[in-house]
Structure 1
Amino acid sequence: MTPSDKPAFLAVLSRTFRTQRQPVPEAEILDVWWTKLEPYPVEAVAAAFSKHLDVSRFAPTPAEILDHLPKRGDDRPEVDEAWAIAIRAADERDTVVWTTEIAEAWQVARPVFHGDEIGGRMAFKAAYARIVERNRGLNVATQWLVSQGHDAAQREEIVSRAVREGRLQLTHAQAAVPLLAGDSEEPAPGVDVAANLKRIREMLAGMGTARERSQAERQRRARETADRLAAAKRETARRVDEVCGSSQEASAIGGWRFCCLCEAKDHHEPATCTIGGYDFCDEHRPVQRRAAQRVAAYEGARP
């Protein structure tokens, strides 16, 4: 979806929640919905909401709607398979064919793994899931690399199997095992045997220790939480001023527009029209003629 699809998306979500007799989520929660469903076309999202109404009597969650959307497939290993690949790197004799994401997650888990294998596995799974989700969001393609071990015979076997499984191109495999080039009248490409290992080292350079990254992540989350709380306080103060003042302005929170009269009752109802700078839902849509009559009557009653 694109930003221009927000009104249609909000209308679909609002109808679904009202059909289930539930209030429309707060603006902050709407942002979560948008983030989770934004990668999909608005038509597919609408169909997923409709499917939910067919199978459930309760208001949906993002996860339930995602279950009704087509899966975005790729060739990334699932987390358990990724762990089985990564753990081979604990033995320096073993050659490992892994993705850049597995390599990055292993660097996070390795300090923990050497003292606590179970803790290392848990740290790896959490890091891998986070890294994969980030790269999928950025549309980063999967990249397979060879981390060479000391055992040359095993190296040829592992790399050959990766070629057969389609995880490595033959030219990349030849960089690690030149014998895979076979008989050819043309010379094999002059690639450094340690090129792939160097690429991994460059990718991981500057990542810092797991403890430093964990501390930086906690500090970042604390700052984000403080910013959200400050923004919420400012928004609350603004809304109180609007309700207590002489007029009620149109409410727009986080880009989502709601009925100003419903907002005064601390209820979020999506706006369907804007009249005189104010947003209204269908229930509170003013009748222009009656409004004019009320103003005229008020003016006539003034001394």
Structure 2
Amino acid sequence: MRPAYKQILEAVVVTAELTGSELSAHAQEVMVDDLMAYPLDAVLQALTRCRKELKGRLTLAAILDRLDDGRPGADEAWGVVARALGDESETVVWTEEMAAAAAPARELMMLGDKVGARMAFRDAYERIVSDARSERRSVTWRVSPGSDAERRVAAIVRAVELGRLPAAQAQLLLPTQAVAERHLLLTGSVMTEQERRAGREHVKKLLGMLRGGKVQVARTAG
């Protein structure tokens, strides 16, 4: 028996006993087989939470709901989504599940019903996340850019720091003016003042070339 399989099986047996759940040997094996698709530490932590929190019988869904697979909990996710729904200038980095669950909350938020929006989001988010975990889909983060360039830079850099976006992808999403932040993501070091000046001059030249190109295209089109 593989060490990881044995650890999970033992944890499942103990958790079932402590929650008053009756699982046949076959049911235990099937449950462990399903849980083997996830990182060992995450599974053991989820089972520990089940032992502390469950008031009903142990199920695979209950374990998956407590599995830390990189997806935020409903409260943390709502904190991000609420900012996105309430302020178009705000840039948010969110998961596919957060974006999908924001849809039923958007209209309620526009009507000023913040409590209803939060409840609608939680219901949708927990259902969508549960489905994603059952289907063993890995978490995917993406950027929903707002109109404020400075906030966009801060949100993207923060997402890299949290490990939610790779640096290479983040560089492509940064505004042209974010020279220092792009340098930081590329090299891991802060720019010197001389490098900052050189970067600003380079950006000015690029913007000038872009403006010139737009004018030329407009004249040709005319």
Counterpart position of 2:106: 110
Q: Is residue 2:70 matched to residue 1:75?
A: yes
Q: Percent identity?
A: 36
Asked whether the equivalents of residues 101 and 128 of structure 1 are also in contact (C-alpha less than 8 Å), the reply is: yes
Counterpart position of 1:280: none
Q: Could you tell me the TM-score, scaled by structure 2's length? A: 0.53
1:111 CA drift (Å) = 1.2
Q: 2:34 aligns to what SS in structure 1?
A: coil
Q: Could you tell me the TM-score, scaled by structure 1's length? A: 0.40
- In the alignment, which of 153, 157, 166 is matched to residue 156 of structure 1? 153
Distance 1:66 1:117, change over 3 A: closer
The list of structure 1 runs, each at least 4 consecutive aligned residues, that deviate by more than 6 angstroms after superposition, is 33-38
Q: What is the Cα-based RMSD across aligned positions, in Å?
A: 4.2
Counterpart position of 1:96: 92
Asked whether the equivalents of residues 89 and 148 of structure 2 are also in contact (C-alpha less than 8 Å), the reply is: yes
Q: 1:146 aligns to what SS in structure 2?
A: strand
Structure 2 unaligned runs (5+)?
A: 1-15, 37-50, 187-222
Counterpart position of 1:61: 57
Structure whose alpha-carbon radius of gyration is higher: 1
1:39 CA drift (Å) = 2.7
Distance 1:114 1:35, change over 3 A: farther
Deviations 1:197-250 (A, max 9, x none): xxxxxxxxxxxxxxxxxxxxxxxxxxxxxxxxxxxxxxxxxxxxxxxxxxxxxx
Counterpart position of 2:191: none
Q: 1:112 aligns to what SS in structure 2?
A: helix
Q: 2:93 aligns to what SS in structure 1?
A: strand
Asked whether the equivalents of residues 36 and 62 of structure 1 are also in contact (C-alpha less than 8 Å), the reply is: no
Asked whether the equivalents of residues 31 and 60 of structure 2 are also in contact (C-alpha less than 8 Å), the reply is: no
Name the CA distance, whole Å, in 1 between partners of 2:136 and 2:157: 28
Q: Which amino acid aligns with 1:181?
A: R
Q: 1:109 aligns to what SS in structure 2?
A: helix
1:63 CA drift (Å) = 5.3
How many residues matched?
146
Q: Which amino acid aligns with 2:96?
A: T
Distance 1:112 1:65, change over 3 A: closer
Map residues 1-303 of structure 1 onto 2, 5 A cutoff. Answer: 39-40=34-35, 61-62=57-58, 72-90=67-85, 91-115=87-111, 116-177=113-174, 178=176, 179=178, 180-182=181-183
Deviations 1:136-192 (A, max 9, x none): 0111111111110010111111111111111111122112205343287xxxxxxxx
Q: Which amino acid aligns with 2:89?
A: R
Name the CA distance, whole Å, in 2 between partners of 1:88 and 1:34: 43
Q: Which amino acid aligns with 1:76?
A: R
